[in-house]
Structure 1
Amino acid sequence: MFTTLTVIATAAVAIVLAVWARHVSVETRRLRAALTDAAWQLAHDPLTGLANRAGLLAAHTILAATPQPIIVVLIDLDGFKTVNDTHGHDTGDDLLITIADRVEELTDLYGGTAARLSGDEYAALLPADGHDPDRLGAAYVAVIAEPARLDVDDAPTTIAVTASIGVALVASTDGFGEIALHRADVAMYHAKHGGGNRHVLYTPGMAMPTRTPRRGPRPRDQRPSQGRAGA
């Protein structure tokens, strides 16, 4: 009788432990998934799924760990406000997603990381790996300028935008914001100043153009930054 009770008690304990272990395992997986999702959201743009500024910084850190030249591309859409004003913000969002897909696809071909920094501004970091930055800039101009077919009020509509693009070739030891992005930013402003729908390659000593036709400051310019005065 005593042996039977012992066996039953042991079996019961085993069942309880198994159930508890299974519960712990499920809860652990749930927490791990929640943490992974939270980490992804911190590093990505919720609209397009591209990396955000934090994600691009992380990509730069990884890329810069290997001594090598890096190509930085900064993309600003021309006349995007007109799309929002004419077709509405939902259509504008659809266009931003379409452009993001194009930028990401081209960037992936060169082993880089694409990002949406804010509003209608994108960026890409790529290992130089012998690629011609000038030709790469031209490729981004071309893919973005292709007309997009979007549904506007349930009717297929062709919408086209162009982009002003700055391209900079930097060293892996150059700082992310104060040098890499800054140089591409200066070149992008020259492209914008030149009428848009073009790219400009940063050259040593290049400074901001004296006048730019851009509408107001960008959201990322209104936030405190870590020294963007480098050239």
Structure 2
Amino acid sequence: MRSISDIKHYRTMLQNARTLEEAVVMEQMRATSRNLSALYAMLCVASLSLGMSFLNHAPLYLTLGLPCLFIVGSILRINHWRDSQAEFTDPLRAQRDFVVIEIGSLIIFAVIGGWIALLWPYAIGRQEAQLALFTGLIGPVGMMCSMPRPRIVAAGLSGTLLIFCFVFVRHDPFYYGYMAVPMAVSYAAFLKVSLTYKQRIAESVMLHNELVSENERASGLAESNRFLALSDTLTGLPNRRRFFEQINLFFERSPNGELPIVGLVDLDGFKPLNDVFGHSAGDAMLVETANRMKAAAARYGGSVARLGGDEFAYVLPWNTSREEAMKFSLELVASISHPVVLPSGDISRVSASVGMSSRSFDVASAKDLLEQADFALFRAKEATSGPVVEFSSHHAASKRREVLVHQAFKNADLDKEIHLVFQPIIDTRDGAIRRCEALARWDSPEIGMVPPGEFVPIAEKA
């Protein structure tokens, strides 16, 4: 199996290719370079073995000198190719390296051919057969290592056949001539296999490029689907799900326990506008509100979202001061209240209420900040403290009381705990009691007497 680094190298190589031919050349170079070490090792062993067999019959420069020189050169070339793996991602460098390999192959075969010709006069009996075997096999075995590049294979096999014919067939045309014929046919089969191998490389590269294109299209489609899943289709703002991800991100990345500021924005007067002017007018108002909020948040490094309907939200980073957050919220309210030209040509406006979270309370998660902002927004909608309300200690106490009453209400035995009291209705003319108003009262054994103003809204929610 390929290693991860090898796969990355392969991808980089194909990405750098400007044409299919360049990609094929780089893949040929990559495949060939992996076999060059084995090729040089085989040549070293074969040449040393051949030289040793002539040790007592030929001069030392032929038997040991040339093989040792060949071994040294092979070691240098093996180290060169081992250090050149990263260069195969450059198509121009790969083409130049192939030219060097092709020229080097011709030089190697010329040297080997000259060496065989010099050893031939010293060959006697078995040595002659060994020399012929070395000549006939060294070419095809060596070319198997260069199989991805048919030009090198053709040059090597042709050179081997020429050397065999020049040295052996010329000496004994009848015996060695019959050997040269099957050699030529075998070499032609080798070349055909090499051409097929190159074709498979080209097909593999084409298939990889198609797979990359399909993967890019699939990635683009997945990204588009993710954008649609996390965005509001009308305004283009992040939707509720994406906003929850954003406030969690702001919360987790805040250093030293500093908290971001979360705000909820609700439009006042939007429903009447939608009812009177139609949904297209309502959509135009929402789009314009989103644009104004986005422009305002950009100046403070914040992010805005549409949670649904006419409810929006924002989050400001941890380094935003309380004063800046309040200033931003007031600017937001003022910006939203500016007139908007509707598609019908009419001019209308809406106002906004904002609830902000507070840094004065310890929280366990970003969800707590959102709950603070939601509670503050509820108070802002009551129009008791202005359009912008920050969560406070009074709100915290009210919230705790609300949770307490809610839990007690869920556990209550209403048949026993709720009782009636009667408010007499008196005729002011004569002071007589004409009728009575029946009022429900809840006497909880857990938290005591609960006023109707507390438990009725909770009962309505439940």
Indicate yes or no: 2:182 matched with 1:182: no
TM-score w.r.t. the length of structure 1 is 0.80
Within 5 Å, which residues of 2 pair with 1:42-191? 42-65=229-252, 66=254, 67-131=257-321, 132=323, 133-152=325-344, 156-170=345-359, 173-177=363-367, 179-191=368-380
Matched, 1:18 2:205: yes
Query: 1:142, CA displacement in angstroms?
Result: 0.6
- 1:33 pairs, out of 217, 220, 233, with 220
Work out whether residues 379 and 389 of structure 2, in 8 Å CA contact, stay in contact via their aligned partners in 1.
yes
Q: Partner of 1:225 in structure 2?
A: none
AA matched with 2:340: A
Q: Percent identity?
A: 26
Q: Displacement, 1:8?
A: 3.4
CA deviation profile, 1:175-221 (whole Å, cap 9, x unmatched): 233x212211122122211179721122113137969xxxxx9xxx9
Cα contact 1:68–1:127 (8 A) shared by 2? no
Match of 1:151, SS state, is coil
**Higher strand proportion:** 1
Q: Secondary structure at the match of 1:15?
A: helix
Are the structure 2 counterparts of residues 172 and 19 from structure 1 closer, same or farther at C-alpha, using a change threshold of 3 Å? farther
Aligned partner letter, 2:294: E
Q: Secondary structure, in 3 states, of the residue corresponding to 1:117?
A: strand
1:184 corresponds to which letter in structure 2? A
Equivalences, count? 210
8 Å contact from structure 2 (residues 296, 328) kept in 1: no
Name 1:227's counterpart in structure 2. none
TM-score, normalisation: structure 2: 0.42
5+ residue gaps, structure 1, are: 212-216, 223-231
The Cα shift of 1:26 comes to 0.6
Q: Residues 267 and 311 of structure 2 are in contact (CA less than 8 Å); yes or no, is this contact kept in structure 1? A: yes
Separation in 2 of the partners of 1:92 and 1:195?
27
Q: Distance in 1 between matches of 2:193 and 2:318?
A: 71
CA RMSD of aligned residues (A): 2.7
Contact 2:280/2:343 (8 A) holds in 1:
no
| Maintained 8 Å contact 2:363/2:369 | no
Consecutive unaligned residues in structure 2, runs of 5 or more: 1-187, 403-452, 455-459
Distance 1:196 1:21 in 2: 65
Q: Which has the higher helix share?
A: 2
One-letter amino acid of the counterpart of residue 120, structure 1? D
Contact 1:68 1:172 in 2 (8 A): no
How far 1:130 moved relative to its partner? 4.2
